[in-house]
């Protein structure tokens, strides 16, 4: 994944980095992402490469965004604690409650670090499910694949929202704001160009 020149302090991750899906095809698309991001042209970097499968493109970028948020949040784990952040929120109007629809069906109020912990577990489960994210080239994606990706993006957006609302001054003190802003802009542009609308902020689950 592209780190946009992130300093050595921030190589710590909240979770182990995930590799691109779909074997050599995923790796090829990942190299395309890295090359276009390296050019500094984010609008070009988010566009579907000519002749590529839109679902493959969504899958590889979903893993990339998971890794980006993973590293960004990993720099804040000592500051984002249950006592400092007792609810997962982005201000008084936006409190995010957790439900995965399987083990936790009714949304529950949790601290921000617990929410992110639940979220990363949930995303990893989706990414590791080959019926959702095929690992073999040519294996079809499920009919609901775009909906799965949109839900992942919606929830990753909440981590960005929480970081900006509750931890931006710490980000500035760590001199990470340029990296955060670039990652967030990349994420929003990709969502806008490839999912037709930006991630929602005002939804409990």
User: Residue 55: pLDDT band by 50, 70, 90 thresholds?
Assistant: very high
Q: If pLDDT is split at 50, 70 and 90, which confidence band does 19 have?
A: low
For residue 53, tell me if it sits in a domain. Answer: yes
Quick one: pLDDT band at residue 201, thresholds 50, 70, 90? very low
pLDDT at 105: 92
Residue 128 lies in a domain: yes
> What is the sign of the dihedral through the CA atoms of 162, 163, 167 and 172?
negative
Which structural domain, as residue segments, surrounds residue 189? 8-195
Which two structure tokens, joined as six digits, stand for 198? Answer: 């930006």
Asked if pLDDT for residue 109 goes beyond 70, the answer is: yes
In a domain, 1, yes or no: no
Residue 171 lies in a domain: yes
Our count of domains for the chain comes to 1
| CB-based contact 13:70 (threshold 8 Å) | yes
Give the dihedral sign, CA 81/83/89/91: negative
Per-residue pLDDT band at 27 (split at 50, 70, 90): low
How far is CA 58 from each of CA 28, 33, 103, 134, 163, rounded to the nearest angstrom?
14, 12, 26, 12, 24
- Whole-model pTM: value is 0.81
Q: 3-class DSSP state for residue 86?
A: coil
- pLDDT band, residue 26 (cuts 50/70/90): low
pLDDT digits (tens, 9 = 90+) for 29-50: 666 566 655 556 788 888 888 8
> Which CATH number belongs to the domain containing residue 142 in this structure?
1.20.140.30
User: What span, in angstroms and rounded, lies between the C-alpha atoms of 166 and 171?
Assistant: 10
Would you state the pLDDT for residue 83? Answer: 97
3 domain-assigned: no
Here the tokens at position 71 are 């590293």
Q: What's the pLDDT tens digit per position in 67-97? A: 999 999 999 999 999 999 999 999 999 999 9
With tokens 């002749």, the residue in question is: 51
From residue 11, alpha-carbon distances to 29, 68, 69, 183, 186 in Å are: 23, 11, 12, 15, 19
Q: Is the pLDDT of residue 10 over 60?
A: no
pLDDT at 117: 95
The pLDDT score that the predictor gives to residue 137 is 75
Burial 133-150 (b: 16+ CB within 10 A, else e): bbeeeeeebeeebbebbb
């Amino acid at each position: 994944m592209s780190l946009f020149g992130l300093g050595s302090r921030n190589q710590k991750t909240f979770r182990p980095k995930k590799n691109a899906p779909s074997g050599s095809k995923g790796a090829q698309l990942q190299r395309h992402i890295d090359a276009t991001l390296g050019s500094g042209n984010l609008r070009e970097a988010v566009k579907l490469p000519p002749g590529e499968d839109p679902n493959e493109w969504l899958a590889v970028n979903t893993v990339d965004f998971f890794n980006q948020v993973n590293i960004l949040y990993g720099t804040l784990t000592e500051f984002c604690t249950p006592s400092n952040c007792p609810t997962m929120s982005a201000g008084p109007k936006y409190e995010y409650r957790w439900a995965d629809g399987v083990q936790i069906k009714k949304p529950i109020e949790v601290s921000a670090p617990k929410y992110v912990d639940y979220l990363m577990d949930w995303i990893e489960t989706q990414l590791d499910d080959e019926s959702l994210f095929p690992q073999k080239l040519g294996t079809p994606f499920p009919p609901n694949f775009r909906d799965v990706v949109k839900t992942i993006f919606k929830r990753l957006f909440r981590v960005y929202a929480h970081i900006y609302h509750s931890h931006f001054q710490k980000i500035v003190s760590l001199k990470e704001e340029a990296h955060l802003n670039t990652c967030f802009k990349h994420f929003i542009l990709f969502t806008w160009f490839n999912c037709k609308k930006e991630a929602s902020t005002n939804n409990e689950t």
